[in-house]
Amino acid sequence: MPREDEDRLVSHRLQVVISPAIKARIERIAKVKKVKPQRIVLEALTYYLPLVDQDFDGEFAEWDRLSDEALVEFEKGLE
């Protein structure tokens, strides 16, 4: 859920072009939740942004480390 300070709509505007199908989905969800479509978009962005705003360098380094460990174990099995 959005944090309280992010929950308030201020005078910031951002124009986004979406497909008619996504627009229809947003409007359907807004109608069911009895809120404005802008609220649905804000909630979706508030949920999604932390997921993509991660430390990717650290994540990739961890994947490399795990990959190296797996290769070492595989090579041990060949001996």
> For the chain, which residues make up each domain, given as ranges?
4-78
Does position 9 have pLDDT exceeding 60, yes or no?
Answer: no
Q: What is the mean pLDDT of residues 33-48?
A: 91
Question: Which sign, positive or negative, has the C-alpha torsion 63, 44, 7, 12?
Answer: positive
**Helix-helix angle 20-33:37-52, to 10 degrees:** 110
Q: What is the mean pLDDT of residues 64-79?
A: 81
What pLDDT is attached to residue 1? 47
Q: What is the mean pLDDT of residues 43-52?
A: 83
Does position 45 have pLDDT exceeding 50, yes or no?
Answer: yes
Does position 32 have pLDDT exceeding 70, yes or no?
Answer: yes
Does position 29 have pLDDT exceeding 80, yes or no?
Answer: yes
Sequence-distant (6+) residues with CB within 8 A of 26 are: 18, 37, 40, 41
Instruction: Let me know: does 45 contact 7? Beta carbons within 8 Å.
Output: no
How far from each other are the two terminal CA atoms of the chain, in whole angstroms? 53
